[in-house]
Amino acid sequence: MLKNSKAFSGFSVGDLSQANSFYRDVLGLDVEEMAMGLLAIHLAGGGEVIIYPKPNHTPATYTVLNFPVDNINEIVDDLSSKGISFERYSGEIKTDEKGICRESGGPLIAWFKDPAGNILSVLQEI
């Protein structure tokens, strides 16, 4: 029934202007301001994510957006130089000094937060 639907995802932020600047200027994504105070992030491959304002926004406690990359070390260095801090984990999931999880059996992955506290990641298949 929904197999051919062009589905999209969305998440909230507390400040749309701050989100627009972050996703457009820091991450370099194609961001469109839409009606009703929404932002659309146009992703490679034709996908899209809607960002909507929520006055009582609470950051997601899970990863809301993953960015596959060819070279995670270069991307982490580049984003770090733009002021992004990568999350550090030392429990069940362990990250190195750059914030990259290099555990065997899965992709290399590093998590960071947008200005609203939502969790994003960059990941590289190995």
* Residue ranges covered by each domain of the chain: 9-124
CA distances from 121 to 4, 56, 72 (A): 27, 24, 10
Q: Give me the pLDDT at residue 20, please.
A: 97
Non-local (6+) Cβ contacts of 34 within 8 A are 40, 50
| CATH code, 9-124 | 3.10.180.10
Q: In angstroms, how far is CA 82 from the centroid of its own chain?
A: 15
Flag whether the pTM goes above 0.85: yes
Can you read off the two tokens belonging to residue 103? Answer: 């555990």
113: helix, coil or strand?
strand
Q: Give me the pLDDT at residue 50, please.
A: 97
List per-residue pLDDT tens for the chain, 126 residues long: 888 888 899 999 999 999 999 999 999 999 999 998 899 999 998 899 999 999 999 999 999 999 999 999 999 999 999 999 999 999 888 999 999 999 877 899 999 999 999 999 999 987
Query: Residue 67 burial (CB < 10 Å; 0-12/13-18/19+)?
Result: middle
CA distance 105 to 24: 33
